[in-house]
Amino acid sequence: MAFLHHPLPIYPSVWFANHPMMKPGVILAKPGATDTVDSAAHRLLQATTGTGPKISVKDIAVFLRLVLAQDRVQLKDDWVSFGTTIGRAGDFVSPLSLLNISDEPCNTDGIVQTNFHVEKQNVMLAILYVTGGFALAEEDPKHSSKINAKIEKYGGRWNSLTNFSRSVDCSAFRNPELKKLFAAMDMFYFKFPEAAYCESRVGTQRLRFEGCGGLEALKLALELLDVPMEMFASWCIVPSMVLELRSLMYGSHEEIDKSDSYLPYCMPLRLTTNSPYTINKSQNIYGLAHAVGCAFNEPSSANARRFPGTSGSSVAEGAIRILGEAARFKNEAAEAQGGKSATESKAQPPKSRSEILERWAAISNPRRGTVGELVKNYYESAKNILE
């Protein structure tokens, strides 16, 4: 079959295995006797304009420590927990060690080489995003003007930080290193319920797994494919997340403190977009699940409203990828049951890319602005592509 296959997300434990010189247990660099917030910020800003030396992880760590200390954040306990959240259980791993700060073209999760660059200014915005978030966690949200003033002093704007994935040349969506940092920050805040971050972050109105778009999409895709969650998770995420996903699907809001435990790492599968938390902020998730449903002749999917701005190509390609695995899932399920499939009455998944396109093409007179129209239009643009 000529399905598109993309690599799985890379997790911290895998990253360290691939970079043996970078050992878990990194200790954040401490400021020198003469370092101040202003001097550290000036050093970073010089690098962004090309008038100073290249930014190092040590420079960022010094800047973070100074800002966090200034904002009276307790470093000893909270920062270690922040590190272990994305590291291996029991080991302290600085998420900053996962950053590869350079001007090399960034790769979209190994899928397509782009012309985008990891600009140093974007790295600075990422640092400001992090420090601004820490400060907001300690401040009443109504005092955000104080945080705005600090961020503007160092060359950033709060709106550009809270909407980072839409505001920079090489967005978090395209830069897996920055994505890991942002994911880790969100994990950190939701591990500590007393933090005000869940109210202060733009677009996050609920606890992170309440109404989560990623989980809603998984539920719908599983219903449409009629496959066990364990099989789906073992393919599209990692086996160690299976039990966690099962618990989350039934209403749990607890974060499991282990390395492979955060849903936004599903970004390469288009399971999250600008916000990983709510279905309303994850429009591609909604479209993806219903594009799968269209191939199973589900009227509710064909008539589902398409959100404005939903990426037709990424939703369609994502659905093709999931559908390409559905037949294998069902075969494995049948083998596990001694050759008897409990899903024989269900519509069978398509076995090739062309069959998927044919099913989408068969949607008659789709309403304007629906997912049915999206996949039918995709068929019109892709029908001449050979398998």
Q: What is the DSSP string of 179-235?
A: HHHHHHHHHHHHHSTT-THHHHSTT--S-TTTT-HHHHHHHHHHHHHT--HHHHHHH
**pLDDT band of 29, cuts 50, 70, 90:** low
CATH 1.10.3610 domain extents, the chain = 213-382
Q: Which residue has the tokens 């044919």?
A: 358
* Mean confidence (pLDDT) of the chain: 55
Look at residue 169 in the predicted model and tell me its pLDDT: 35
Give me the CATH code for the 213-382 domain, please: 1.10.3610
DSSP string, 203-219: T--S-TTTT-HHHHHHH
Contact assessment for residue 92 and residue 84, using Cβ atoms and an 8 Å cutoff: yes
Q: Note the pTM of the prediction, 2 decimals.
A: 0.45
pLDDT at 372 over 90: yes
**pLDDT band of 306, cuts 50, 70, 90:** confident
- Please choose, from the candidates 93, 273, 101, the residue with its C-alpha nearest in 3D space to the C-alpha of residue 172: 273
Q: Please state, in angstroms and rounded to a whole number, the distance separating the CA atoms of residues 264 and 311.
A: 18
Which amino acid, 218? L
Q: Which of 70-74, 104-108, 122-126, 203-207 has the lowest mean pLDDT?
A: 203-207
Would you state the structure tokens that stand for residue 45, as one six-digit string?
């800003």
Look at residue 86 in the predicted model and tell me its pLDDT: 33
Contact assessment for residue 270 and residue 21, using Cβ atoms and an 8 Å cutoff: no
Q: What is the mean pLDDT of residues 210-229?
A: 62
pLDDT at 367 over 80: yes
pLDDT at 297 over 80: yes
Q: Which of 62-71, 198-207, 241-250, 322-331 has the lowest mean pLDDT?
A: 198-207
Q: What is the mean pLDDT of residues 29-50?
A: 67
pLDDT at 102 over 50: no
